[in-house]
Amino acid sequence: MLGRVFLMDSLPAYDRLYTYQLPVLPAPQTWAAGLRLQIPFGRQNHWREAVVAEILASEPPDQTTAGTAPLTAGAEGPLIKTAGLPLDPYPILNEDQLKLCAQLRIRYACTWGEACRQMIPPGLGGRSTEKKQRVWLWRLQAPDQAAAAMENGEIRYENQARVLEYLLDHAQATSEELFHACQVSLSTLKTLEKKQLLTHTIIKQLPDMPADQAAAATQVSAVPGSWTAGRDTSASACGLQLTEDQQRALEQLRQALDRLPGHPGHNSRTALSEFLLMGITGSGKTEVYLQLAATVLEQGLRVLMLVPEISLTPLMTERFVSRFGSRIAVLHSRLTGSQRLQEWKKIRGGQVAIVVGARSAVFAPLADLGLIILDEEHDSSYQSDHKPRYHARTVARLRARATGALLLLGSATPSFESYERVLSGRSTLLQLQHRPAEAKLPRLEVIDMRKVGKADPAGLFSQPLYQALSACFERGEQAVLFLNRRGFAPLWLCPACGFSVDCPNCSVALTYHQPCQHRPAQLRCHYCGYLQQAPAICPVCGQPMAGWGMGTEQAEVVFQQLFPGQRILRMDQDTTTARGAHKDILEAFRRHEAAALLGTQMIAKGHDFPLVTVAGILSADLLFRENDFRAEERAYQLLTQTAGRAGRGELAGQVFIQAFDVENEVLKAVCGGTYEAFFAMQQAFRRALQYPPYSCMGTALVSHPDEKVARELCQSLEARLRFQWQTWPEARDAQLISLGCSSASLPRLNGRSRWQFTLRCQSERLISQCLNFLARQRLPKDSSLSLSMDPA
């Protein structure tokens, strides 16, 4: 039998399907597409890991001729090598996933292996079991020495500081524990070991997977007739009264379900299988999801539910778990390797009906998909920033199309791409315009910070916001405060000569962080993690230096001065590195252990706190200053979402938006206008300048430690590409152009200079073709090329 296989690790130039002779397997195992195996590769016949993409000639039913199937015409004849045995007892990819790999590979210009790795858990099979059973246990060589290293500024990187802090608190920890608690890699631990701050011992551990569970994962169980048998999941059974809007939306969705492929009366028009559920914040989108999921489960199909970030949307997960019980798997980035492997095996083995997860869960190995839901579909965390740089919405659409599932996108502030699809008839709009029961939309007020009195000397809280907060706390209610910048002050500056301290690795200023438990005051780079002590005296003119501008740490301090008796919880990247920290903060706030929750955009995401009646946006101006054609769309979404946190229960809400630029169009749209009006305004601007969704864009970003090398490589790649596309007849029709080479918006990052060029065209396929051409170019040593495609 012959099989076509791809390598798991391959250079782009060698990435293709290779034909191998597959050896006869001992019964009952048979070869199938998706099986992982080892193959002898190259002149030296080194053993390499590979996956079967397709079986060319299937074995004849009669066993006597097994293994002697003749070579098919067109195969590479006598040169065909024989592959090794499979590495797992079952295929790691199903047919749908293999097709998806092929699509991702072309679309995002990645290799087969890179696409495949998105779909399997990192710990799958892997190296020898002997190695797997060993655990590295880390401790500090001398706690005093570690504390001193942090005090005297010897520790120059934030991730190293996190490890030391963690071990000061916990005495010892395994590598895996440190990877997750401190978000570091093994190289960080080894660096600290070289500095003689850490030491490790290797201990033996029993295998983490119970044998029976591993066995269960090897067989895919048949789909039962209905997942909901013996369980009433209707709204009335859950004590809920659906609004008219909700009922109407549900009816339309259920009708569409009946017309999907595989159902009687199926209609193949794509608009029927994609819906945009646009509901103002608090209008009950989740209940629509739950009801529709129940219908899909009744038909014996499965549901994929995506949320922007699991740890930030615990409520959605809880509601699914409480409604559908144990037939749910929850996937997110904070699971340990072995937890993730276990969930993956459960899903693959067909034991779960619903997967709730963040971005990467879009690849979950669910069979018989009936419905894919993307909640808060506008959220930027659906865009991957690692290779392949996919967008979960795009991948969900590909999967829905391939499997005949219904795609439901939900948002209060849809992305422009999704709304444009509605206008062009490729998706159907469903609207929820009312909040259920007594809940009313909050009252919005823009505070002109140029004119109004301030409650504190730093000017963070205006008088109206201060008074509203005082009244709110007096009534025993809660408030949410939003400031999109962490740290104490974004600049450490000499007021006399204007000198500020910049990161030596990146082209950004360092942020001032005030002293805390284990460490003195620090300046940190929010891009590469570099840190150093804050100089008290300006090195240029000798005057004292000070922090300038405001961040969440400062807002917390000022809040404590203004409201000495009230507790405030701060939620930003600095307070949430530890596993479970998000959930702890949100739950403490929901239990009313604090009067206020202060945070960066993390707090804007889909939380529901019935006692919150005041939302304060401390500085809207920060949102308007980004240099990107999506800046206004994002600002609109963030402001509307944050405002939506107030008044979700029976209590009326108030929202205060503090800004200097009160004439800003976005601000006007958030306060008075409708989404449609805002869309129309932005549409005109994007059409005129040919920005997506009215064109398709792709970007190639080159980086190298040397500025000159990066620039020249960027220019040379662009020239090679231009030369290449002259041979493509469709390039002119689709108006393919390059917008020219320039240094990136962050010209230096992590000690590397960055240059880029952007391609624009009317055809997505052509942009992919360009990216694929670039991916196959040879690059000089130490340079790297990152390719991305604007999401559709």
Residues that bind Zn ion (CB under 5 A): 494, 496-497, 499, 503, 505-506, 525, 527-528, 530, 538, 540-541, 543
Q: In this structure, which amino acid lies at residue 407? A: L
Nearest alpha-carbon partner for 739 in 620, 665, 629: 629
- Min dist CB 525 to Zn ion, Å, is 3
CB-nearer residue toward Zn ion: 524 or 711: 524
CB-nearer residue toward Zn ion: 158 or 376: 158
Token pair in block for residue 238 = 């859950």
Q: Are strands 134-140 and 36-41 parallel, antiparallel or unpaired?
A: unpaired
List strand residue ranges (DSSP E) for 8-116, in order: 18-21, 36-41, 46-55
- Min dist CB 573 to Zn ion, Å, is 15
CB-nearer residue toward Zn ion: 226 or 577: 577
Q: Are strands 522-524 and 511-513 parallel, antiparallel or unpaired?
A: antiparallel
- Min dist CB 756 to Zn ion, Å, is 19
Cα–Cα dist 253/275, whole Å: 8
CB-nearer residue toward Zn ion: 257 or 501: 501
Cα–Cα dist 228/225, whole Å: 9
CA atoms within 13 A of residue 538's CA, in its CB half-sphere: 17
CB-nearer residue toward Zn ion: 272 or 546: 546
Using an 8 Å Cβ cutoff, are 471 and 711 in contact? no
CB-nearer residue toward Zn ion: 496 or 739: 496
Classify residue 285 by burial, with Cβ atoms within 10 Å: 0-12, 13-18, 19+: buried
- Min dist CB 511 to Zn ion, Å, is 10
Residue 693, preceding peptide bond in cis (omega within 30° of 0): yes
- Min dist CB 158 to Zn ion, Å, is 10
CB-nearer residue toward Zn ion: 359 or 748: 748
Token pair in block for residue 358 = 């963040």
Cα–Cα dist 362/352, whole Å: 15
How far is CA 674 from each of CA 228, 443, 663, 775, rounded to the nearest angstrom? Answer: 40, 15, 17, 43
Using an 8 Å Cβ cutoff, are 93 and 28 in contact? no
- Min dist CB 387 to Zn ion, Å, is 22
Classify residue 57 by burial, with Cβ atoms within 10 Å: 0-12, 13-18, 19+: middle
Instruction: Please give the full DSSP string across 359-376, using - where no structure is assigned.
Output: GGGGG---SSEEEEEEET
List strand residue ranges (DSSP E) for 109-178, in order: 134-140, 172-174
Cα–Cα dist 125/87, whole Å: 8
CB-nearer residue toward Zn ion: 183 or 273: 183
CB-nearer residue toward Zn ion: 173 or 493: 493
Strand partners, 491: 548
- Min dist CB 711 to Zn ion, Å, is 20
Query: Sheet harboring 46-55: ordered strands across?
Result: 18-21, 2-7, 46-55, 36-41
CB-nearer residue toward Zn ion: 538 or 662: 538
Cα–Cα dist 703/249, whole Å: 48
CB-nearer residue toward Zn ion: 224 or 542: 542
- Min dist CB 166 to Zn ion, Å, is 22
3-state secondary structure of 224: coil
- Min dist CB 183 to Zn ion, Å, is 16
- Min dist CB 473 to Zn ion, Å, is 39
CB-nearer residue toward Zn ion: 366 or 528: 528
Token pair in block for residue 683 = 């549409």
Unique residue bearing structure tokens 């949320």: 307
- Min dist CB 523 to Zn ion, Å, is 11
Using an 8 Å Cβ cutoff, are 757 and 721 in contact? no
CB-nearer residue toward Zn ion: 93 or 494: 494
Give the number of residues written for the chain. Answer: 792
- Min dist CB 786 to Zn ion, Å, is 18
How far is CA 433 from each of CA 247, 638, 779, rounded to the nearest angstrom? Answer: 12, 19, 53
CB-nearer residue toward Zn ion: 305 or 528: 528
Count other Cβ atoms within 10 Å, centred on residue 178: 23
Unique residue bearing structure tokens 């997960």: 317
Count other Cβ atoms within 10 Å, centred on residue 1: 20
Cα–Cα dist 392/308, whole Å: 10
CB-nearer residue toward Zn ion: 527 or 629: 527
CB-nearer residue toward Zn ion: 541 or 779: 541
- Min dist CB 528 to Zn ion, Å, is 3
Q: In this structure, which amino acid lies at residue 542? A: G
Q: Give the max Cα distance, the chain.
A: 92
- Min dist CB 201 to Zn ion, Å, is 34
CB-nearer residue toward Zn ion: 215 or 497: 497
How remote is the C-alpha of 38 from its chain's centroid?
Answer: 32
How far is CA 6 from each of CA 9, 42, 111, 768, rounded to the nearest angstrom? Answer: 9, 13, 9, 21
What burial letters (b/e) apply to 439-448, b meaning 16+ CB within 10 Å?
bebbebebbe
- Min dist CB 530 to Zn ion, Å, is 5
Does an H or E element contain 256, and which?
A: helix 244-258
- Min dist CB 499 to Zn ion, Å, is 5
- Min dist CB 500 to Zn ion, Å, is 9
